Amino acid sequence: MSAHVHTSVSNGTGLILLDRPKALNSLSLEMVRDITAALLAWRDSAEVDAVVIRSSSEKALCAGGDIRFFYDVGRDTPQAGSALLEDFFTEEYALNHLIHFYPKPYIALMDGVVMGGGMGVAQGGPECRIRIVTERTKMAMPEVNIGLFPDVGGSYFLSHAPGQLGNYLGVTGVTINAADALYAGLADYFVPSAELPALLALLETTAGLQLRAAIADFTAPFRRSAGESQLAQQRAAIDRHFAAGSVAAITASLQQDDSAFAQKTLQVMATRSPLMMCVTHELIKRGAALDVADCLRMERALVRRNFEHGEVIEGVRALVIDKDNAPQWRPATLAEVSEEQVLQMFAPVWPAYAHPLRQLA
């Protein structure tokens, strides 16, 4: 195990502790490999009946992938990415698939920031997932802000969100809270952060086979404590505007609405990569017709095209490296994005038999 991932087993429960607090547990390749190794070792082990993943810090479960790493290695070989970059995305997406189909209860404590790759290690499939949020939860798929797209299975779980919520969250990259996460179907239970010590004690002392029922009982008193969902209040507007057939049409629809919600949404979208907003819209549309494995395979090819184009390199430069918050997007405006440019991003990279995620079932 690396210095940033600690694992143990207690009372039939495998415990994964992410411990890279200064980077908000941003995932490195080593961390991806450590989590994968633990889950594979426990998958068929009679000694482990459930898995819990949590953070050593209250600030974040995981803020995503290590975007400084993306910048450093992607800038060196922008046409194809370095071998390490290729390995990172292949192994991260394989981990997302492993989590989605895990045969045992998989419990994610989504306290603090949960974004991008953090969503990938928290959004298990419906048969295994138990996703717990707190009032400190800050959840997002914010990739369009750095010139990327909602990956780590985002094309699947966003496309399966109610109504147009997935389109809204993916195209805008906005951050939501616990109540919104519950409303959007991206979380299952709410626990006040003050009750986390008691919940952790429960997780460490309850037999793994009994954890699902124990968590349901523990969280029952807090069912209405998450507060009102802003997404619920904005749902009619979101469904109306984001049902438009393109990002340009969504923008035109919002421009006809003088509400505070519409104007704020337009302001947010004006800062995002125009190309990646359009790619995200197409990604979510395609993802709705695909299974998890095919969504991840689509995303894996798309991330290669993205680094070839260089949009994410520019986005990370502006946001994290130079911090000028003035990315030079290509194209610079939504009006300049053509359908051909969007479709080119989805062009196959490998023949099916050579795809790095061809083994996913």
Residues labelled as active-site residues: 65, 117, 143, 151
Copy the structure tokens of residue 355.
């795809």
Q: Which strands form 13-18's sheet, in the order they lie side by side?
A: 5-10, 13-18, 50-55, 106-110, 129-133, 189-190
Identify the burial level of 339 via C-beta atoms within 10 angstroms of its C-beta, where 0-12 means exposed, 13-18 middle and 19 or more buried.
Answer: exposed
Q: Would you state the torsion angle of the CA atoms of residues 322, 325, 330, 334, taken in this order, to the nearest 10 degrees?
A: 170
Name 287's Cβ contacts closer than 8 Å, sequence gap at least 6. Answer: 154, 155, 156, 158, 159, 295, 298
Calpha distance 51→8 (Å, rounded): 10
Copy the structure tokens of residue 81.
């990415």
Residue 184 to residues 27, 131, 139, 345, 346, Cα–Cα distance (Å):
25, 13, 11, 28, 27
Copy the structure tokens of residue 83.
């071998």
Calpha distance 72→95 (Å, rounded): 23
User: Helical H runs in the chain?
Assistant: 29-43, 67-76, 83-100, 117-120, 154-157, 165-172, 178-183, 196-205, 211-219, 230-242, 247-255, 260-269, 274-287, 292-309, 311-316, 339-345
CA-derived radius of gyration, the chain: 20
Residue 361 to residues 36, 92, 101, 157, Cα–Cα distance (Å):
17, 16, 10, 17
Q: Are 186 and 139 in contact (CB under 8 A)?
A: yes
